[in-house]
Amino acid sequence: MANARRINLVHRSLSRPLTILGAERKLFFFAMCLGAGTFNLLNSLLGGVLIFLVLYLFARWATQTDPQILRFLLTAATLRSQYDPMKFAPIAVRRDDHAQA
């Protein structure tokens, strides 16, 4: 019984992203705030609703593509110098067969 395999159940609701109407929460609130800001700035309900709808549709598309896309986009600027897949150079590893333990 020492080699018995342990199985942990993971409920699907724990790994599902938190969304509002199919868009990630932060992107939804960003779209809502920009729509409200446009409404206040231009004094146009149609303009505010139009900006909200465009950003909401973009947020739904981004969430369906990858729920963590906002985190990736925000950290991409800081990681650019560390990782660039187009500039991949293999690392030479030397193995010493006579290493002492």
pLDDT digits (tens, 9 = 90+) for 40-92: 999 999 999 999 999 999 999 988 888 787 787 778 777 656 556 677 777 77
**Which residue has better confidence, 29 or 10?**
29
Using pLDDT thresholds of 50, 70 and 90, give the confidence band for residue 22: confident
Cα R_g (the chain), whole angstroms: 24
Interatomic CA distance for residues 7 and 15, integer angstroms: 17
In the DSSP assignment, the letter for residue 87 is G
Distances (CA, A) of 14 to 3, 11, 75, 94: 28, 6, 24, 44
Using pLDDT thresholds of 50, 70 and 90, give the confidence band for residue 100: low
**In the block, residue with structure tokens 């509002």:** 20
CB neighbours of residue 67 within 10 Å: 16
**Which residue has better confidence, 47 or 18?**
47
Amino acid making up residue 70? L
Averaged pLDDT for residues 32-42: 95
pTM given for the model = 0.60
